[in-house]
Amino acid sequence: MGTALSLVVKRSPLEDSVFRAIARIFRTPDLRRKIGFTLGIIAIFRLGSFIPAPFVDYGNVEACLDQSSTTSGLYELVNLFSGGALLQLSIFALGIMPYITASIITQLLRVVIPHFENLHKEGQTGQAKLTQYTRYLTIGLAVLQSTTLITVARSGQLFQTASVVECQNLLTDDAWYAILLMVITMTAGTGLIMWMGELITERGIGNGMSLLIFTSIAATFPTALWTIQQTNGLEVFIVVILIGIVILGAVVFVEQSQRRVPVQYAKRMVGRRTYGGNNTYIPIKVNMAGVVPVIFASSLLYLPLLVTQFFQPAPGEEVTPWVAWIQNNLASGDNALYMAVYFLLIVGFTYFYVAITFNPEEVADNMKKYGGFIPGIRAGRPTAEYLDYVLTRVTLPGSLYLGLVALIPLIALATVQANQNFPFGGASILIIVGVGLETVKQIDSQLQQRHYEGLLR
């Protein structure tokens, strides 16, 4: 009589909880439909990144991409947010960058233009008008940026290997009608991306614009890591992966960190009902500015280099000393001066942006209006001063953290010759972690609304 041997594979409680959470997601029809819709839009978005714009010589573009692994300045940032579509001169070449810039400008205009601040305070109606202004500004910026991109591609200066013959002939036709059609196509691509992002927000899961940025950045990870493996070997590649895991954990920890300011609400009688009397808190995150200071600093550092393009010497003439100094010190991120200026700009912009987005006086007035107070602090102006005190001190480690994370790609560029799209640092890791955490929280809340345990515990 034979004996049957059976192999039982036991899963850990963590594995069981993960599999059960995933199963709960796909057992919920509405949530399954939203995730499927989101993935479909993302697939269309990535497909458009590989479709070349009219009158673009795709063969020459691919040849230049193979010979030039890095770019510099603002083009590196825009290429990152477009998922590599910028340097391919595709119909989605500008990516989501015009919308990001328009959103930042709209927020900054609230400080300068009182009408924008009033719209912000009007609630949903005012926010709808601000969103419409942002859309119009996005289209305007798309026209400007596409014209600039095509002009640079036409001059043969889009890639660092500008001396290569293929990089001088990226366009098959540079007549005015061809350039006009390319501008219209890239601008329409930006408008389509903006529309797809809003569709995801309305009918999908998570914030549509953020998820499209997440997709663009994540698409560059395999290429960046493979470049490191080919350039430096397997040992350096493994070390980079291990360091990346540590950085990822540290970024998640800091992004979730917050200073909770306790708030109590006094009891008040309205008719026969009692309101208030509960305790809550004001969450002040360590990194309240997000990735915006990094974008600000990168854009500002590119401006001097952009100015030097208008003072290039004629053949046979010497370069002006100040132009040469800028090109030697601010054109690349692998020198100490560039890193120091970049770090200081990020710290300064962090304080500036937090001061714009968080108004202690407004928060104190709202608390006073609804009978709220911080224990031990008088309502009104003392509360505003206390919140400003806490905010200033919490922002200091947040700004230093942003500066250090932003320097990681520059350090990697100088040590392992990685390009500035190094995946484990800078704007890329901040966006990946921030959008990932927010999307997981939204899926968790969707599950909890349907009487499940939720995705997070």
Is pLDDT at 188 greater than 90 in this prediction?
Answer: yes
Q: Which of 47-51, 122-126, 130-134, 400-404 has the lowest mean pLDDT?
A: 122-126
CB 121 within 8 A of CB 362: no
Residue 9 has what DSSP assignment?
A: P
Which DSSP string corresponds to 113-136?
-HHHHHHHHTTHHHHHHHHHHHHH
Two tokens at 72? 């510099």
Residue 401, Cβ neighbours under 10 Å: how many? 20
**Average pLDDT, integer, range 208-213:** 87
The structure tokens 């947010």 sit at 81
The mean predicted confidence, pLDDT, of the chain is: 79
**Average pLDDT, integer, range 305-320:** 70
425 against 49, higher pLDDT: 49
CB 426 within 8 A of CB 409: yes
Q: How many residues does the chain have?
A: 457
Query: Cβ neighbours of residue 168 under 8 Å, at least 6 residues apart?
Result: 156, 162
Task: Give 277-300 pLDDT, tens digit per residue.
Answer: 678 888 889 988 888 888 888 878
Is pLDDT at 72 greater than 50 in this prediction?
Answer: no
H/E segment holding residue 89: none
**Could you tell me the CA-to-CA distances from 298 to 249, 252, 342 in Å, in that order?**
25, 23, 7
Q: Which of 357-366, 420-429, 431-440 has the lowest mean pLDDT?
A: 420-429
CB 88 within 8 A of CB 151: no
CB 49 within 8 A of CB 92: yes
- As a whole-number percent, the residues of the chain with pLDDT over 90 amount to 14
Confidence of residue 7 (pLDDT cuts 50, 70, 90): very low
Give the Cα separation of 395 and 165 in Å (integer): 50
Instruction: Report the range out of 3-7, 218-222, 344-348 with the highest average pLDDT.
Output: 344-348
- Cα torsion through 447, 26, 201, 355, rounded to 10: 50
Phi and psi, residue 260, nearest 5°: -95, 115
Which DSSP string corresponds to 414-434?
HHS---TT-SSSHHHHHHHHH
pLDDT reported for residue 273: 67
Which DSSP string corresponds to 175-213?
SHHHHHHHHHHHHHHHHHHHHHHHHHHHHSSS-HHHHHH
User: Within 13 A of 150's CA, how many CA atoms are on the CB side?
Assistant: 30
Please choose, from the candidates 257, 272, 260, 262, the residue with its C-alpha nearest in 3D space to the C-alpha of residue 367. Answer: 262
CB 145 within 8 A of CB 17: no
Is pLDDT at 262 greater than 60 in this prediction?
Answer: yes
204 against 169, higher pLDDT: 204
Phi and psi, residue 284, nearest 5°: -110, 105
CB 158 within 8 A of CB 170: yes
Domains of the chain as residue ranges with CATH? 30-221 (1.10.3370.10), 233-312+322-450 (1.10.3370.10)
Q: Which of 65-69, 121-125, 395-399 has the lowest mean pLDDT?
A: 65-69
Two tokens at 182? 């390319």
- The alpha carbon of residue 277 and the mean position of all alpha carbons in its chain are separated, in whole angstroms, by 40
Cα angle: 399, vertex 401, 403; to 5 degrees = 70
Query: Cβ neighbours of residue 385 under 8 Å, at least 6 residues apart?
Result: 360
Task: Give 133-165 pLDDT, tens digit per residue.
Answer: 999 999 999 998 888 888 878 877 776 655 556
Query: Quick check: helix, strand or coil at residue 95?
Result: coil
First to last CA, the chain: 49
pTM over 0.85: no
Please choose, from the candidates 206, 201, 212, 207, the residue with its C-alpha nearest in 3D space to the C-alpha of residue 94. Answer: 212
Confidence of residue 395 (pLDDT cuts 50, 70, 90): very high
Is pLDDT at 274 greater than 80 in this prediction?
Answer: no
Beta bridge partners, 280, equal 263
Give the Cα separation of 158 and 155 in Å (integer): 8
Confidence of residue 434 (pLDDT cuts 50, 70, 90): confident
CB 86 within 8 A of CB 93: yes
